[in-house]
């Protein structure tokens, strides 16, 4: 993870993607759209650049790796955008790791989880996120970065 070389606070946001999001764009386009995760990463980098932010973009299928990434971000980065995917609905470990972070956290879901199956309606991550964006497709990631930029305020001139 990058850290600032000066005493300036970090402007790097961790954009963390959970299990199976590496398959984005390969099936279920009616739910998740046609964009791949590489397209989402490009959108995040372009959006972040315009906001004076950097992005550390990651995806893992492993709950432990996601917890480790959150713990690393905790002391080094400026905020977290997270699409926890299926771990949203199951992972108390991820919720606890996020709760231990004193950073702006925005949860993103490509689909509107509230108009889908009942088991997707509960997100443990929502209990500790500062904001939740669902149903906006990849644009949700851009909106999340805008929200974090607004909370951080302007960076160095």
Report the distance separating Cα 138 and Cα 105, nearest Å.
Answer: 17
For residues 141 and 81, is the Cβ–Cβ distance under 8 A? yes
Q: Which of 87, 89, 109, 124 is catalytic?
A: 109
Q: Are 31 and 111 in contact (CB under 8 A)?
A: yes
Look up 109 and say whether it is catalytic: yes
114 catalytic per annotation:
no
Q: Give the one residue of 120, 143, 146, 147 binding ligand CA2; rule: CB under 6 A.
A: 120
- For ligand CA2, give the closer residue by CB, 11 or 18: 18
Distance in angstroms (rounded) separating the CA atoms of residues 81 and 20: 17
Among 4-12, 53-61, 73-81, 103-111, which window interacts with ligand CA2 (CB under 6 A)?
Answer: 103-111
- Would you mind telling me the total number of residues written for the chain in this entry? 157
Contact footprint for ligand CA2 (CB under 6 A): 20-21, 23-24, 26-28, 32, 83, 85-86, 88, 109-111, 113, 120
């Amino acid at each position: 993870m990058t850290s600032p070389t000066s005493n300036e606070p970090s402007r790097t946001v961790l954009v963390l993607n959970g299990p199976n999001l590496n398959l984005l764009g390969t099936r279920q386009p009616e739910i998740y759209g046609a964009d791949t995760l590489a397209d989402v990463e490009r959108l995040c980098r372009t959006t972040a650049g315009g906001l004076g932010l950097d992005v550390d973009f990651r995806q893992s299928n492993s709950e432990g790796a996601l917890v480790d990434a959150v713990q690393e971000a905790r002391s080094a980065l400026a905020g977290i955008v997270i699409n926890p995917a299926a771990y949203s609905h199951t992972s108390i470990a991820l919720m606890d790791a996020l709760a231990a972070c004193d950073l702006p956290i925005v949860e993103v879901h490509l689909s509107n989880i509230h108009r889908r199956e009942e088991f997707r309606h509960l997100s443990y991550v929502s209990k500790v996120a500062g904001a939740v964006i669902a149903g906006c497709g990849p644009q949700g990631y851009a909106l999340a970065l805008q929200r974090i930029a607004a909370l951080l305020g302007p960076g160095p001139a």
